[in-house]
């Protein structure tokens, strides 16, 4: 595929991600190893590790690691352009999206 000159980095990254997702041969070759490594990084999962114990699990470490990846567990934060002055940026803090869905399912909020 020919890539136009001066393609923005975000577009190049999206193309790379798309190609990696579509490379089913490489995905099949790697098997479950990569996802199992990620699960272990976050403290394991009792469903797949019969030796898992709560003593080995540190929720604060898991939350910290997830936050490094941009996954909000208890709070979600992002840097966005200011509503008042789009040349400036502000940090927006809110509840994670999955909390909003739970609230809606339980009969609260929109």
Residue by residue, pLDDT tens for the chain (110 residues) are 677 778 888 888 888 889 988 999 998 999 989 888 888 888 888 888 888 888 878 877 887 777 777 676 667 777 889 889 989 998 887 776 655 555 455 555 55
The DSSP H or E segment spanning 64 is helix 59-68
- The structure's pTM equals 0.45
Q: Which of 100, 78, 102 is nearest to 89 (CA)?
A: 78
The rounded radius of gyration (Å) of the Cα atoms in the chain is 20
Count of beta carbons in the 10 Å neighbourhood of residue 70: 9
| 3-state secondary structure at position 10 | helix
CA torsion angle for 25, 28, 34, 35 (degrees, to 10)?
120
């Amino acid at each position: 595929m020919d890539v136009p000159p001066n393609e923005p980095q975000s577009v190049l990254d999206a193309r790379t991600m798309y190609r990696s997702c579509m490379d089913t041969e490489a995905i099949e070759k790697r098997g479950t190893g990569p996802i199992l490594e990620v699960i272990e990084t976050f403290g394991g999962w009792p469903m797949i590790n019969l030796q898992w114990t709560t003593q080995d699990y540190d929720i604060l470490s898991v939350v910290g690691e997830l936050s490094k990846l941009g996954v909000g567990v208890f709070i979600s934060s992002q840097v966005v352009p200011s509503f008042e002055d789009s040349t400036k940026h502000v940090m927006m803090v809110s509840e994670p999206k999955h909390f909003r869905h739970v609230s809606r399912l339980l009969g609260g909020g929109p």
